[in-house]
Amino acid sequence: MRDTIYKNICPVLLLVFALVLPTTSPNSAFNAAPWMVAVLFSWWLVGLGINICKKNVNKIACPRLMAVLLFALLYAAYIYGMLISQGIKVNDWFQKLPFVLLPCALLIPMVDYMDEKKWICFKLTYAIACVLSLLMCILHAYIGELSHFHFYNYYYSTLTGWLRHPAYLSMMYTMAIIFMVDLLYNKELSIKVKVMIHIINVFLSIGVVLSGSRAGILAFIVILFLYFVYVSCFERYHIKQWILSAMIPIMCFCISFLLLPRQQNRVIVTQSVVTDELSQRYHKSSPKDARVQAWQAAWSIGKQYFPKGVGIADFQQEQQNFYRQHQYWVSAKKDLNAHNQYLQALASMGLLGIFSLLCLLAFILYTGVKNRNAVLCLFGVLIMINFMFESMLERQDGIMFAVFFTCVLMMDISDKKFDNENSKHSRGEASVR
């Protein structure tokens, strides 16, 4: 009886997490994501107690166990970075706790509680939540802009400070599109559900453009291209289906991109900035783009303090000193971080930090390739691209997204493996879910 209750409540908690992750943030009035981490971990402890009493603890699959260990190693690197700092912030300890709490709660389950229908429900719930977050942002911009009649200007200027950073919104929308395109291959879904998936893709592809995130737009293009390469190489019989499923988000993306006012099109603005930067580099001038300045500062600090690292709490001060020394006043005023997770890890945690981060990313890609799981591979590429332009693991939004979906996708792979093995033993033949 207790096992049944535990098994039925766990999927509900995952659905709630998928719903609150895109729609709430540290900038909102109520941020539900940290509370959901606490609830998931507490519920895992309940299941642990039940099964220890019954002496019925399940065996942990190798991919799950390895993911738990790699997240623990990354958390250990952050602890190391805090300890070598002169000033330790208490908030950092709590902010990084999902690195250990979520893997324990999701990758060391006491019972296997997810099946194919529940995974479909989870993916649809997350995608619908992303659409709701987009509609919330649009409504907020529309209401606040009624007296000015410059929707795009107001949307771009208020989106960052209201719900969450545009790069994180774009990343979440792209992940939802990956889920939706993948679901269209499922022959068991009804026509109504597939029509709803296409409508969701329309909204989310427009949302990627409206976010204005250059990294998000780049990731969207790369992800769909890699998905096409994967289908062309390994699932050629799905090539027509892929074209039909991906055509709608691609067309909506292109139309939205072309309809953007030129002055609000950050890709065009970036093109001129890059041209200017190359010209300045040729003439040995200082870069004007704040992100380039942040990269330059982080790389310089990383080399100076290699292999030990400067420490998490001291990194920002060192970067501020670099900005002032080189007269990067705009970057100093904004107090920018590295805007690159690789450089941030290298500079703040040294060799241990960058090693643990690269091991985790390599494991995600290796597991996806080994199991021929396109969604896991594309997720790995998605966060790797965003790591190049944002210090994602230094913000709660980035930590929640990266850790939660790594664990969820590892759960899916492990569950399929267990299902196949059980089918072999019971029927004497292989069965793929």
Q: Are residues 417 and 433 in the same domain?
A: yes
Task: Return the minimum-mean-pLDDT range out of 125-134, 181-190, 233-242, 334-343.
Answer: 233-242
The answer to whether position 281 is within a domain reads no
The answer to whether position 268 is within a domain reads no
Q: Report residue 86's pLDDT band, with 50, 70 and 90 as the boundaries.
A: confident
Of 229, 215, 220, nearest to 256 by C-alpha is 220
How many angstroms separate the CA atoms of 378 and 382, rounded?
6
**pLDDT tens-digit readout, 412-431:** 776 555 444 444 433 333 33
Task: Return the minimum-mean-pLDDT range out of 71-80, 283-292, 330-339.
Answer: 283-292
Q: Are residues 68 and 13 in the same domain?
A: no
Residue 27 has what pLDDT? 66
Q: In the predicted model, what is the mean pLDDT of residues 278-301? A: 69
Question: Structure tokens of 182?
Answer: 């993948």
Q: In the predicted model, what is the mean pLDDT of residues 169-177? A: 93
Instruction: Name the pTM for this structure.
Output: 0.87
Question: Structure tokens of 52?
Answer: 């220890």
The answer to whether position 411 is within a domain reads yes
Whole-angstrom CA distances from 244 to 124, 295, 364 are 19, 40, 28
Kindly provide the b/e burial profile for residues 280-301, where b requires at least 16 CB atoms within 10 angstroms of the residue's own CB. Answer: eeeeeeebebbbbbbbbbbbbb
Instruction: Using a pLDDT cut of 70, give the percent of the chain over it.
Output: 78
The answer to whether position 278 is within a domain reads no
Residue 314 has what pLDDT? 87
The answer to whether position 290 is within a domain reads no
Per the structure, the count of domains in the chain is: 3
Q: Are residues 424 and 366 in the same domain?
A: yes
Q: In the predicted model, what is the mean pLDDT of residues 211-227? A: 87
Q: Are residues 24 and 95 in the same domain?
A: no
Residue 395 has pLDDT above 90, yes or no: no
The answer to whether position 396 is within a domain reads yes
**pLDDT tens-digit readout, 357-369:** 999 999 999 999 9
Amino acid letter, 345: A
The answer to whether position 171 is within a domain reads yes
Kindly provide the b/e burial profile for residues 236-255, where b requires at least 16 CB atoms within 10 angstroms of the residue's own CB. Answer: eeeeeebeebbebbbebbee
Q: Are residues 8 and 123 in the same domain?
A: no
Q: Are residues 192 and 100 in the same domain?
A: no
Q: Are residues 431 and 302 in the same domain?
A: yes
Q: Are residues 390 and 333 in the same domain?
A: yes
Q: What is the DSSP letter of 85?
A: S
Residue 202 has pLDDT above 70, yes or no: yes
Q: In the predicted model, what is the mean pLDDT of residues 151-171? A: 66
Q: In the predicted model, what is the mean pLDDT of residues 257-278? A: 56
Q: What is the chain's mean pLDDT, rounded?
A: 80
Q: In the predicted model, what is the mean pLDDT of residues 380-395? A: 92
Q: Are residues 121 and 257 in the same domain?
A: yes
How many angstroms separate the CA atoms of 400 and 5, rounded?
26
pLDDT greater at residue 122 or residue 32: 122
Q: In the predicted model, what is the mean pLDDT of residues 197-206? A: 91
Of 304, 215, 351, nearest to 319 by C-alpha is 304
The answer to whether position 27 is within a domain reads yes
Task: Return the minimum-mean-pLDDT range out of 5-14, 46-55, 68-77, 213-222.
Answer: 46-55
Of 123, 239, 249, nearest to 198 by C-alpha is 249
Of 138, 209, 208, 219, nearest to 173 by C-alpha is 208
Q: Are residues 153 and 220 in the same domain?
A: yes
Q: In the predicted model, what is the mean pLDDT of residues 211-219? A: 84
Range of the domain at 26: 1-57
* Residue that terminates a domain, selected from 28, 57, 86: 57
pLDDT greater at residue 308 or residue 280: 308
Residue 145 has what pLDDT? 59
Residue 433 has what pLDDT? 33
Residue 195 has pLDDT above 70, yes or no: yes
* Residue that terminates a domain, selected from 57, 77, 94: 57
Q: Are residues 170 and 42 in the same domain?
A: no
Q: Are residues 332 and 208 in the same domain?
A: no
Q: In the predicted model, what is the mean pLDDT of residues 257-273? A: 58
Residue 58 has what pLDDT? 58
Residue 362 has what pLDDT? 96
